[in-house]
Amino acid sequence: MKESAQPVGTSIFDEIRKRAESHWENLWNDQKPVILVGTATCGRAAGALDVLQAVKEVVKNRNLECGIFEVGCLGHCYAEPLVIIRKPGYPSICYGHVTPVLAENLVANLILNNDPSLEFVLGALEANDLVPSFSDFPRAQYEKRIILRNCGRISPDEIEHYIAQGGYLSLVKALRMKPEEIVEEIKRSKLRGLGGAGFPAGEKWEVCRQSKGEPKYLICNGDEGDPGAFMDRAILESDPHSVLEGMIIAGHAIGARHGYIYVRAEYPLAVQKVQNAIRQAAELKFLGQNILGSDFSFDITLFQGSGAFVCGEATAMIASIEGKPGIPRHRPPRLATKGLFGKPTVLNNVKTLAYVPHIVKNGVEWFSQIGTEKSKGTAVFALAGKVVNTGLVEVPMGTTLRQLIFQVGGGITKGKRFKAVQIGGPSGGCLPEEALDIPIDFDSLQERGAMMGSGGMVVLDEDDCMVEMARYFLDFTQKESCGKCTLCRLGTKQMLDILEDITKGRGEMEDLETLEELAEDIKTGSLCGLGRTAPNPVLTTLKYFRDEYKAHIKERRCPALMCQSLMAYYILPEKCARGCDACVGTCTVEAISTDKKRRIKVIDQEKCVKCNTCMAACPPQYNAVVKLSPPDQVPKPK
């Protein structure tokens, strides 16, 4: 590749940038108010599209002059749907839990009557004297938004929004650098693969760059298959251009002509946003022949995954793109020498690639200051489960689990007690309270038997049974095992059978040793990451929560009252209110009737399907429905 004598693309890009910036300025500094509605998948699940419709209608009916934009995910998923209203003279105010009716009122109140409806405010985007801003939240001191910087603040459908935030500037800078220089920068930055394994990205790039064989390929792994993780989805839905920019720079650095972005079919909205983003980038010549007038050409193809967890594994993903079943192959040869179609290939996660523009722009020194000695930068986590503030968070590596769950996440829901946190999905493990003070990075988590994984973090409380969690993950990996390696195919099935027996009260104490033996065998005898890590949930729960296994086996009792075969619902006669029949009406199988003599409600244990509806329906002032384990604790009807 010949070197460009003239600064590449400066004039073309400057013009694009000027246009984008004035577009953005017009939007935000004009006299017109702006309304943003968060319509990423989380928001839509909570009803954001109805809210958007209501906003559009009120704007039309009241003849309001204002811009309405759909934005992605701010990370405050617990408060979805979110609406941000910005009126000149006021800060940008974000409202949470918005319903269509509320949306109409909020818009009319602020824009027509100058009433910011303080009681519905979640926070303001920027510091101000009127309402508390997000930066005043206690969580703000732990958060550091780098790859989530734009998420929820710009429209993912408009490339101008991204450019106005400094987007694609790194691409211009990178095009002026020699590819080797970029590889060197990424190597020096010690950026590690944020997909979970933490392999140094720069090393992959270097090997691929130096490998013989043309054409070379770049693949972006957006096959976020871990149940409980949604970081990549949110980034692709909210700020797809940041990933594309990272891909183009990476393509330039490794000498690839063609890139693939592999997105799961279960993420239809992400697919749509990425498709649109690729089209826009090509229109502005950030993709295609001679990008921004340089001699570098690069295309990106979107490939939709088809619902196979194992395809998140690099060699399986390649088989999938080649049109074959996603079955992993032995490595070496490494992908960087022999990958897609047998050619040198680099495969990086969405977040790793989204980081690239930031490192190119701000330099290695900037990046090195964030994070821990061996894990640099930030980590994005998807907080879910029994935590108050479910959603997306980005924190520097080295933040402790306690800070993340209790300060950022706001603690456990319903005032329950923390029991464990499940990190890294089916490949990860469950860590107990004792582990809460370890600083999170790639290595510290692995030492404890868990792993960073892609960043899914499911918080478990006293109501969650650890044996059941282990069974759940084994059920998942057993179904998702591609079947190539005997130990993974049959061993996980054996482990699952044993765990199922234990959760049904048919376990024996010897089973625990068999589980541990099988776990070690599967780890040794499997080719890919799926099999090698599949036993982790079982091993960590056996290590940290062995007593729960023992209670299931010896006492046929589930201490968390979760395993359905080992518990029953019971209505405490002394607490049951005589005239109330909330439970009778809601019971989905008509298993609750009134005992006429005693004038209380009674559950027919034969009919009961243990769906928990009566417990949820019983008014809190009575709290008469309880769970008992083992089921023979329920007094026999007289």
Q: Which of 414, 413, 419 is closest to 384 using CA atoms?
A: 413
429 binds other proteins (CB under 8 A): no
Q: Least distance in Å: CB of 6 to other proteins?
A: 37
Q: Select from 160, 206, 394, 480 the one that contacts other proteins (CB under 8 A).
A: 480
Is 229 or 487 the residue whose CB approaches other proteins more closely? 229
Q: Least distance in Å: CB of 251 to other proteins?
A: 19
H or E stretch covering 474? helix 466-480
Q: Which DSSP category does 593 fall into?
A: E
Q: Select from 138, 215, 268, 619 the one that contacts other proteins (CB under 8 A).
A: 268
Q: Least distance in Å: CB of 71 to other proteins?
A: 17
Spatial distance between the Cα atoms of 156 and 166, rounded to a whole number of angstroms = 15
Is 319 or 336 the residue whose CB approaches other proteins more closely? 319
Scanning the structure block, which residue is given the tokens 């997909």?
Answer: 195
Answer yes or no: are the C-beta atoms of 566 and 629 closer than 8 Å.
Answer: yes
208-247 residues in contact with other proteins (CB under 8 A) are: 224-230, 233-234
Q: Least distance in Å: CB of 46 to other proteins?
A: 5
Q: Select from 325, 333, 411, 525 the one that contacts other proteins (CB under 8 A).
A: 325
Q: Which of 616, 13, 442, 45 is closest to 627 using CA atoms?
A: 616
Binding mask 354-383 for other proteins (x = CB under 8 A): ----------------------------xx
Q: Least distance in Å: CB of 281 to other proteins?
A: 21
**510-541: burial string, b at 16+ Cβ within 10 Å, e else:** ebbeebeebbeebbeebbbbbbbbbbbbbbbb
Spatial distance between the Cα atoms of 592 and 609, rounded to a whole number of angstroms = 11
Q: Least distance in Å: CB of 379 to other proteins?
A: 17
Q: Least distance in Å: CB of 168 to other proteins?
A: 27
Q: Which of 574, 615, 573 is closest to 591 using CA atoms?
A: 615
Q: Select from 52, 321, 515, 583 the one that contacts other proteins (CB under 8 A).
A: 321
Distances from the Cα of 600 to the Cαs of 484, 574, 588, 611, 637, in angstroms?
57, 9, 19, 21, 13
Binding mask 609-628 for other proteins (x = CB under 8 A): xxxxx--x------------
How many residues bind to other proteins according to rule CB under 8 A? 64
**Cα angle vertex 351, ends 350, 356, to 5°?**
100
Is 13 or 137 the residue whose CB approaches other proteins more closely? 137
Backbone angles phi, psi at 426, to 5 degrees: -65, -15
Is 69 or 473 the residue whose CB approaches other proteins more closely? 473
Answer yes or no: are the C-beta atoms of 459 and 418 closer than 8 Å.
Answer: yes
Around Cβ 372, how many Cβ atoms within 10 Å? 17
Q: Least distance in Å: CB of 195 to other proteins?
A: 15
386 binds other proteins (CB under 8 A): yes
548 binds other proteins (CB under 8 A): no
79-118 residues in contact with other proteins (CB under 8 A) are: 80
Q: Least distance in Å: CB of 349 to other proteins?
A: 15
Spatial distance between the Cα atoms of 629 and 467, rounded to a whole number of angstroms = 15
Spatial distance between the Cα atoms of 51 and 55, rounded to a whole number of angstroms = 6
Q: Select from 17, 44, 190, 601 the one that contacts other proteins (CB under 8 A).
A: 44
The token duo for 34 is 């702006």
Q: Select from 1, 45, 101, 572 the one that contacts other proteins (CB under 8 A).
A: 45
Spatial distance between the Cα atoms of 209 and 530, rounded to a whole number of angstroms = 28
Candidates 31-39, 167-175, 454-462, 591-599: pick the segment binding other proteins (CB under 8 A): 454-462
At position 599, the amino acid (one-letter code) is R
Q: Least distance in Å: CB of 565 to other proteins?
A: 13
Q: Select from 130, 265, 509, 572 the one that contacts other proteins (CB under 8 A).
A: 265
Q: Least distance in Å: CB of 109 to other proteins?
A: 26
Answer yes or no: are the C-beta atoms of 94 and 124 closer than 8 Å.
Answer: yes
Q: Which of 47, 96, 48, 92 is closest to 76 using CA atoms?
A: 96
Candidates 22-30, 42-50, 101-109, 284-292: pick the segment binding other proteins (CB under 8 A): 42-50
Query: What does the binding site for other proteins look like in residue numbers (CB under 8 A)?
Result: 41-42, 44-47, 77-78, 80, 224-230, 233-234, 265-268, 303-304, 306-309, 320-327, 382-386, 390-391, 422, 425, 456, 458, 460, 464, 469, 472-473, 476, 480, 482, 586, 588-589, 609-613, 616
